[in-house]
Chain A
Amino acid sequence: MGKKILIVEDNDDDLFIIKRYLSGAGYNEVVVARDVKEGLDKAEQEKPDLVISDTLLPDGNGFEVCQRVRQKHGAENPKIIIMTGSIDAVDAVKARKMGADDYCAKTSDCGIIMDAVKKLI
């Protein structure tokens, strides 16, 4: 498959689960960032095909990651998925306006996220 994925996520448990499902589906090239700053740095250095970012991050939020990746790398690539695990933080309209390709809820089986990944890359 050879597609590179960058996950921006600060929660260890969520990160572990997503990585497991991704590798189960054959996506083995996974890079991890723990906050907005690291996410933007890695997006620059690693040139991923897809960025999956959590909404709430220690130094900001996923919308910021999305907006700044789009400003720097254009509207097409990388593809971006914003995910959320908190009902309070659900805002797909904002994600779309910032340039996200998809928006989904984090679930314990990662079903929705995996579907979105397969559709985008």
Chain B
Amino acid sequence: MEIKDGPGEDLVKEIESLKSKCEKAQAELKATKEELEVQAWGLNKTNEAIKVLYKELENKNRELKKLDDMKNEFINTVSHELRTPLTTIREVIAQFLEGILGETTSEQKEFLRICLEDVDRLKRLIDDLLDTSKLESGKFSLVMEWVDIAGLAKGVIDSFSPRARVRNLEIKKDLPGIKLMAYADRDTIVRVFTNLIANAFKFTDTGHIEISVADKPEYIECFVSDTGKGISEEDLPKVFTKFQQFGRREDVKEKGTGLGLSIVKNIIDLHKGKIWVESKLNTGTKFTFILPKSSQG
């Protein structure tokens, strides 16, 4: 029997429409389920891969650290072995120069002076290497005491006065008239000032070198600036990295080791201080560092 018109036909249409909606919903559900499965699988695998790669990185790091320790140990041993004979050689040359071991002609003296200069350079290089390896392996021990940083800076600056006269450079100093005490290791802070000022001399032909020590509530702020050739923006981030030498100059007598600023940074870090550099090519460079008054803070 065929139903024409009337409520029966509407019902069939309704059922068919519902069926089609249901099928569509089912298909959507299936797609969503598949998508969820892909997501779940992917996230699981991603998680697994990250975990494995992280562990792999950790292992590599550990290996690198071990190699670095071995390198430091090696440098330490070799430096010690090199230093001992060097001291003997230096002593003998010095005694010849002073005439203790007999007469020498002026030409011989000139050669001996060159030898002495080179021996001293070698000694500086070995000392720097030794310090770097100690600083890096954490074996550098500071002798902490209350130190007058302003007085200490003045001492270092005075030792550079003859050099400033010879080079016709002005040393400006901005030091407070009073003692500025900080709990620090005297010898290493002297080293920081010496390295920074020596560096300023090395790269400044005209103008001045300025050293300032200022009192701040929690710390002492110092800077060494110059009107020298400056460091390019590109080289600036590498300034405190080992064996970096910028703007090498053939005419500079005292050649660097490329370790001076790395040592300075390590010393400041050990004091829980901070150091940074600002520079502009052909205008000058300014190294600023802060030292906490008490490193406990």
A contact residues vs B (CB 8 Å cutoff): 84-87, 90-97, 102-108, 112
Contacts and interface: CB of A to CB of B under 8 A. Distances in A.
B53 A105 contact: yes
A108 B56 contact: yes
B52 interface: yes
A87 B46 contact: no
A105 B41 contact: no
14 contacts: A84-B49, A84-B53, A90-B46, A90-B50, A91-B42, A92-B43, A92-B46, A93-B39, A93-B42, A97-B42, A102-B45, A103-B49, A104-B48, A112-B48
B67 interface: no
B243 interface: no
B57 interface: yes
A87 B41 contact: no
B267 to A, nearest CB: 35
Interface of B: 38-39, 41-46, 48-50, 52-54, 56-57, 59
A108 B49 CA distance: 13
Contacts of B46: 90-93, 103
Contacts of A91: 42, 46
A106 B101 CA distance: 69
A86 B38 contact: no
* Candidate in A90, A105, A106 with the most chain B CB atoms within 10 angstroms: A105
B52 A96 contact: no
A103 B53 CA distance: 13
